[in-house]
C-alpha cells in the first residue's frame, strides 16, 4: 500500500510540473519585445518622429489577436496615434517623464505597417517660439517574430491619409517631408490563428482524467477489489 501511495504522489507531482511547464511555454510564446523603426510614409527613410518613440516595444497575443504596446516621449506633443486604422488605447502615463504607453491592435509583428500621428507644438523650443500643428502618415518597420500570427484585420480610420513636412526645432522645413499618398499599400492578409495551441488545453484535461483513474485504482486497491 505504501508503495502505491509513493507512486501515486510521484505521478501527481510529475503532472503538476508538466502542466506548469507547458503553461509557462505558452505564455512566453504569446508575449515578448520587438525592435522597430519609424519611417517616412511608404519609404525606407527614417522619420524625424522616430526619436520620439522609445524602443523596444512590447507585443502580446490574446484571444487570437496581436497587440503592440508602444511608449512615446514628448507625449504632450503627440496628440494622437493610430496603427492600421486602430486608434491608441492608453494603458499608462508618466507625467514626470512626459511619456505614455499605448496599445494597438496589429496584423503582424514583422514587416512594414502603416500608421498615423498627430503632432501639436505651441511653446518655446530651444529658447525660440515654435508652433507646429500637423497630421501625417508614417510607416512602422517591426522587427519582431515572423512566426507569431494573429487573426487581426486592419481597422477603418475615419480620416484619409494626410501629409506634411517634418520641421526642425527652429520651425524651418528640413526638406525631409513625409510623402503624400492617398493610395495606401495593401496590407497582407494575416494567417488565421485560433490563439493558444489546442494541446495546451488538452494537457490539463488528460491529466485530470489520469488523476481520476489513479484515484479510483488506489481506492479499489485499498479495499482489495482489484483482481
Cell of 201: 488545453
Place of cell 491619409: 161
Cell of 29: 510564446
The reply, when asked if residue 132 is annotated as ligand binding, is: yes
The reply, when asked if residue 120 is annotated as ligand binding, is: no
Sign of torsion, CA 13 15 19 22? Answer: positive
> Residue 174 burial by CB count (10 A; 0-12/13-18/19+): exposed, middle or buried?
exposed
The reply, when asked if residue 48 is annotated as ligand binding, is: yes
Cell of 3: 508503495
Cα distance between residue 179 and residue 107, in whole Å:
23
Cα distance between residue 171 and residue 178, in whole Å:
16
Cell of 184: 495606401
Cα distance between residue 53 and residue 36, in whole Å:
9
Please enumerate, by residue number, every residue annotated as part of a binding site: 47-48, 132, 136
Please enumerate, by residue number, every residue annotated as part of a binding site for heme: 47-48, 132, 136
Amino acid at each position: 500500500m505504501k508503495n502505491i501511495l509513493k507512486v501515486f504522489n510521484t505521478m501527481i507531482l510529475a503532472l503538476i510540473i508538466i502542466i506548469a511547464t507547458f503553461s509557462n511555454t505558452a505564455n512566453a510564446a504569446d508575449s515578448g519585445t520587438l525592435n522597430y523603426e519609424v519611417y517616412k510614409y511608404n519609404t525606407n527613410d527614417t522619420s524625424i518622429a522616430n526619436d520620439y518613440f522609445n524602443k523596444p516595444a512590447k507585443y502580446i497575443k490574446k484571444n487570437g489577436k496581436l497587440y503592440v504596446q508602444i511608449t512615446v516621449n514628448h507625449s504632450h506633443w503627440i496628440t494622437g496615434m493610430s496603427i492600421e486604422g486602430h486608434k491608441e488605447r492608453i494603458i499608462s502615463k508618466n507625467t514626470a517623464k512626459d511619456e505614455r504607453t499605448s496599445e494597438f491592435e496589429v496584423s503582424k509583428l514583422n514587416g512594414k505597417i502603416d500608421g498615423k500621428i498627430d503632432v501639436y507644438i505651441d511653446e518655446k523650443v530651444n529658447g525660440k517660439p515654435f508652433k507646429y500643428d500637423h497630421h501625417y502618415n508614417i510607416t512602422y518597420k517591426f522587427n519582431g517574430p515572423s512566426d507569431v500570427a494573429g487573426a487581426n484585420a486592419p481597422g477603418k480610420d475615419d480620416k484619409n491619409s494626410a501629409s506634411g513636412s517634418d520641421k526642425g526645432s527652429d520651425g524651418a522645413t528640413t526638406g525631409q517631408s513625409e510623402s503624400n499618398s492617398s493610395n495606401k499599400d495593401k496590407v497582407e492578409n494575416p494567417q488565421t490563428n485560433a490563439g493558444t495551441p489546442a494541446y495546451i488545453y488538452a494537457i490539463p484535461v488528460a491529466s485530470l482524467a489520469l488523476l481520476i483513474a489513479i484515484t479510483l485504482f488506489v481506492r479499489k486497491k485499498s479495499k482489495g477489489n482489484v483482481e
